[in-house]
Structure 1
Amino acid sequence: MKVGYIGLGTMGLPMVKNLLQADIDTWVVSRSRPPIEEALKLGAKEAKSPADLTSQVDVVMTCLPTIESIEEIYFGENGIIQAGVQDTIVLEHSTVSPQLNEKQHHAITQKGGLFLDAPLSGGPMGAEAGTLTIMCGGDESAFERVRPILDVVGQTIALVGPVGSGSVVKLINNMLVGVHTQALSEAFVMGAKAGIDPAMIHRLIKVSTGHSHMIDRTIDLIQDRDFEQRFMVDLLHKDMKLAIDLANNLGVEAELGGRTEQIIQDVSDKGYGKQDVAAIIRRVEEQAGVEVKRKSDSN
């Protein structure tokens, strides 16, 4: 199968590299020029537009940062829908609402194509290693057809249910990312304020019941004061808002999630929105008057 990938960001470009390494004929479109050039050097082919790309391939994969960019790529001039998607399978890897998935699904199936929402978890490191978790919603036959491609870029891959189901699981995951990151921020600032080495706290919590993946993911970045963008605060805030909207639509009171979404908004308002989610701790540090830093004798 020929594959087209739209959106060569921190997730898309490493996924394209893995597709090319597996000798999959891959076409690309992206707003930013440098990742396009990098993909072309590795053997990718460049399409003129999303519509042009769609007309060249059997499978279209999209991974985009904002709702506005998704609307444009799918429904805008020279977008995917304009190309004619007869017998084309379209995979949406972006984190969006199930309602937007339904809109995409309707538009694509009306033109004879197939659609899967297929959000990702694992971050840029997982994208580079080809170990992503991919949560899919949609038609089982479409899922089985693209499974060999998904196996190239992911490790844990599941068809969750009908269209929108993958996005439900992803929003649940990212709501937990926000809650866990705020919780670990409070915990490690407490430890720093009490004069305890954060590396020691991590060592002990890692083998105790309070451990979470987000501690492992962020604590070294926090101790080294490395808040370079990997998964930025503003994107997490967008996902948290979507998760709370989903909870409200389902009649579920997401009290802790809702409060965390407000906190992350405050983190963004303080000027940390373009930094990595590890920067969520900076708000708690400022309130406590202490920083969680690596001690010179810590390993």
Structure 2
Amino acid sequence: MVAQKLHGVALFSKARRPSGAGIYPFRMILSKVWGRRRANVTGAHHVSETVVTEPMTNPDQIGWIGVGKMGNPMATRLIEAGHRLIICDPVAENRASLVARGAEVCAAAGDVAARCGLVFITIPNDAVLAGLIDDSADAGGFAAQIGAGSVVVEMSTVSPHLSERVARTLARRGVAYLRCPISGSTTLARAGKLTALASGDLAAWEAAAPLLDLLAVRKFYLGPGEEARYMKLVLNTLVGATSSILGEALVLGERGGLTPAQMMEVITESAVASPLIAYKKDMIAQMDFSPAFSVTQMIKDFTLITEAGRDKQVPMFVANMILQQYTAASNAGYSEQDFFSLFDWMRGAGGLADPV
């Protein structure tokens, strides 16, 4: 099955939500999902240890782990739609606005897991996710506390290799796991206009789809495994490369007497225009690189990209070079600037002082 077909079949439309309530009854969906699983088991010859034999006891409670730069605006949208959230984040500043809107706070991710039937995760990196899924008896954390029949929707940009380990761990617990990295900025997150790239357990996709509808205007189900993780890396490769090649081109033009504003005006009306370049037009024209997505974050993503290339034995000549560019820019003081500040770093390498 292709993504577009599944996209059309699996999505729940807004029209199917109860009018006025803003809350989709995903208890009903989950009951059907797990009931279907139990029915499938009944007719099987062998029952594996990963089979869910009982439905979750608290299917209506939604949890959210990690409410930082992207998680906060997404969680806010669910609360504003009428959903009650239990959240966990170590940074009080991240939690404050959600608590003001009625969210309940748990100090530990394991407490969220124990109380919630559907849990969203938005965390910064592989290391944090690896800690969450330590299900050893003495860990007492998220994976050790989550109940059979629960649904986990992991929305971060993490390595496919780690995501596979998450899948195995959650399967042992009888938990449905949806890989669902999102593409878009904090501005798009606040507006509910992200792109959701999903793969994994189809039951989890069906359960989460009505809630994802509040967060994303484009949703793709790409397959049963790590397809969504690779799709996110594909997109981020192209996004990060855009800043690199555009920066070189702009430095050349500036050395030839053009201003950044002049060039961006022409580029955004040309055959090479794109939504990304249009979005960054004013940033470059004004040389204001306040971060929507930082150089540090891009280094993290390109590290994942190049590592995935090595794992799959794919030569990543350009991606490795771009990673070196972002690393050099970070070392030169651009680490917390927007990743399109690569242009400003390249200006220095090109012998330019302040913008013309």
Q: Normalising TM by the smaller chain, what interval?
A: over 0.9
Question: 1:139-288 alignment to 2 at 5 Å?
Answer: 139-288=201-350
- Structure 1 residue runs of 5 or longer lacking an equivalent are none
Report what 1:119 is aligned to.
181
User: How many aligned positions are there?
Assistant: 294
Aligned partner letter, 2:321: R
**Deviations 1:215-255 (CA, angstroms, capped at 9, x unpaired):** 22323223323222321111111111111122222232222
Q: Distance in 1 between matches of 2:226 and 2:217?
A: 21
**Deviations 1:179-225 (CA, angstroms, capped at 9, x unpaired):** 11101111122222222132232222222222233322323223323
Q: Distance in 1 between matches of 2:279 and 2:140?
A: 39
User: Structure 1 pair 211/173, CA: closer, same or farther in 2 (3 Å)?
Assistant: same
**Deviations 1:71-123 (CA, angstroms, capped at 9, x unpaired):** 22332734210113311111111111111111011111101111111101111
Determine if the alignment matches structure 1 residue 45 to structure 2 residue 104: yes
Report what 1:105 is aligned to.
167
Aligned partner letter, 1:217: Y
Determine if the alignment matches structure 1 residue 65 to structure 2 residue 124: yes
Query: Which residue among 2, 18, 29 is the counterpart of 2:77?
Result: 18
What TM-score do you get using the length of structure 2 for normalisation?
0.79
Secondary structure of 2:166's partner? helix
How far residue 35 of structure 1 moved from its aligned partner, in angstroms, is 2.1
Aligned partner letter, 2:65: I
Report what 1:28 is aligned to.
87
1:85–1:111 CA contact under 8 A, matched in 2: yes
User: Structure 1 pair 279/196, CA: closer, same or farther in 2 (3 Å)?
Assistant: same
Q: Distance in 1 between matches of 2:325 and 2:278?
A: 22
User: Structure 1 pair 60/136, CA: closer, same or farther in 2 (3 Å)?
Assistant: same
2:153–2:204 CA contact under 8 A, matched in 1: no
Aligned partner letter, 1:223: A
Q: Distance in 2 between matches of 1:191 and 1:38?
A: 44
How far residue 171 of structure 1 moved from its aligned partner, in angstroms, is 0.6
User: Structure 1 pair 284/72, CA: closer, same or farther in 2 (3 Å)?
Assistant: same
Q: Percent identity?
A: 27
What TM-score do you get using the length of structure 1 for normalisation?
0.93
- Structure 2 residue runs of 5 or longer lacking an equivalent are 1-59
Secondary structure of 2:133's partner? helix
Report what 2:12 is aligned to.
none
Q: Distance in 1 between matches of 2:147 and 2:233?
A: 28
